[in-house]
Amino acid sequence: MHEFLLQLPKVELHLHIEGSLEPELMFELAKRNGIELPYATVKEAKAAYEFSDLQGFLNLYYQGMNVLRTEQDFYDLAIDYFQRARGEGVVHIDMHFDPQAHLQRGIPLEVVMAGLLRAKEEAEASLDLSVGMIMAFLRDRPVEEALRVLENAAPYWKFIDAIGLDSAERDNPPAKFQALFKRAKEIGLVRVAHAGEEGPADYIAEALDILDVQRIDHGVRCLESDIVVERLRESQIVLTVCPLSNVSLKVVDDLRNHPLPQLLKKGLKVTISSDDPAYFGGGLLANHLACADALGWDADVFRLLNRNAIEEAFTSDQRRKELM
Ligand code: HPA
Ligand code: ZN
């Protein structure tokens, strides 16, 4: 099974590129940029990655990305992950990135975009790895700020496949971002949102009704509402479920008790992704292997999940055909 999963061409729809920053690269970039880290060693950093909830993780996630300063840093971050993922048999990645988390630190959008887009181009030209771009907005910050960032990003609209909504979900309902998502729709941008990770099933319905999203990131808490499950089943809206992330952030207590089998049994369009691989114990292959071990899935389940992901990936029809 492990060899099959390594060989299987895998597609990842939910990956925060800043969450792919391995401690080794964090130390290298800190040195290059003359930044002092709160850890003495890589081992110490890794030992700190023990979380009791989403907020506990986000605190370290925002702290970690502080080493990213230059275009080269963003390029190195992304190409490092792309190379690793390709080595694990990943063939397509839809990548979230968080402009506000960098703008707040005085890093211009141009720096972020130039580095990430250069890495994407290189991956597509020489790694046989296609990459979709999701400009994500931080739901624990004001909608007015998000709207300004989206307008200022006008030169880059043509390079992004969708906007997303991430960061602290509790008490930051989708409805708060109605104006942002309305504007994105006017511009012609596809919309996705994290919902039903730590937040209630109602937030999934809100993201569908008010934000008009085409994809729900996580969505595991849909099982708390039969009505929401039925909507997701009927519309075949894709869920980007992140098994190791859910265990790390205590959304589920143990992978063996993960709701994934129930989601599949209900006929929902499920995919699996790594979310923040540097923080949650591994990339897309590690997530596949962990599910095989904990849930006892056979090859057909993994083929189905990856077929779902290929159908929903932000890529050209030609590339989609190649991946099928
Ligand atoms: N959830 C919400 N926001 C995030 C995450 C996540 O798992 N990772 C990075 N930003
Ligand atoms: Zn996420």
Q: 69-101: per-residue pLDDT in tens?
A: 999 999 999 999 999 999 999 999 999 999 999
Residues 127-156 have a mean pLDDT of: 98
Ligand nearest to the CA of 15: 2
Taking residues 126-132, report their average pLDDT.
98
Distance between Cα 134 and ligand 2 center (Å): 11
| pLDDT recorded at residue 314 | 98
Nearest CA to ligand 1 atom 2: 167
May I ask the CATH architecture of the domain 2-21+71-323? Alpha-Beta Barrel (3.20)
Domain positions in the chain: 2-21+71-323
Which of 81, 138, 275 for mutating ligand 1's site (highest number of atoms within 8 Å of CB)? 275
Residue 277 has a pLDDT of 98
Measure 194 CA to ligand 2 centroid, in angstroms.
7
| pLDDT tens, position by position, 278-288 | 999 999 999 99
322 CA from centroid of ligand 1 (Å): 30
Show the tokens assigned to 191: 């919309």
Q: CA 82, CA 28: separation in Å to the nearest integer? A: 18
pLDDT band at 68 (very low <50, low <70, confident <90, very high): very high
Atom 5 of ligand 1, nearest CA residue: 167
On average, the pLDDT of the chain sits at 98
The CB of 172 under 6 Å from ligand 1? The reply is no
Residue 61: pLDDT band (50, 70, 90) is very high
Split at pLDDT 50, 70, 90, the class of 230 is very high
Question: Quick check: CB of 275 below 6 Å from ligand 1?
Answer: yes
Q: Are 15 and 271 in contact (CB under 8 A)?
A: no
- Non-local CB neighbours of 313 within 8 Å, separated by 6+ positions: 11, 13, 92, 94, 130, 132, 320, 323
Q: What positions carry a catalytic annotation?
A: 197
Res 145: pLDDT: 98
Could you tell me the CA-to-CA distances from 91 to 87, 88, 122 in Å, in that order? 10, 9, 14
Mutate to test the pocket of ligand 1, among 49, 61, 63 (most ligand atoms within 8 A of CB): 61
The pLDDT assigned to 140 comes to 98
Question: What percent of the chain has pLDDT above 90?
Answer: 100
- Identify the pLDDT of residue 46: 94
Q: How far is the CA of 106 from the centre of ligand 1 (A)?
A: 21
Q: Residue 45 — pLDDT band, cuts 50, 70, 90?
A: very high
Q: Is 276 annotated as a binding residue?
A: yes
The secondary structure of 96-129, three-state, reads: EECHHHHHCCCCCHHHHHHHHHHHHHHHHHHHCC
> What pLDDT shows up at residue 306?
98
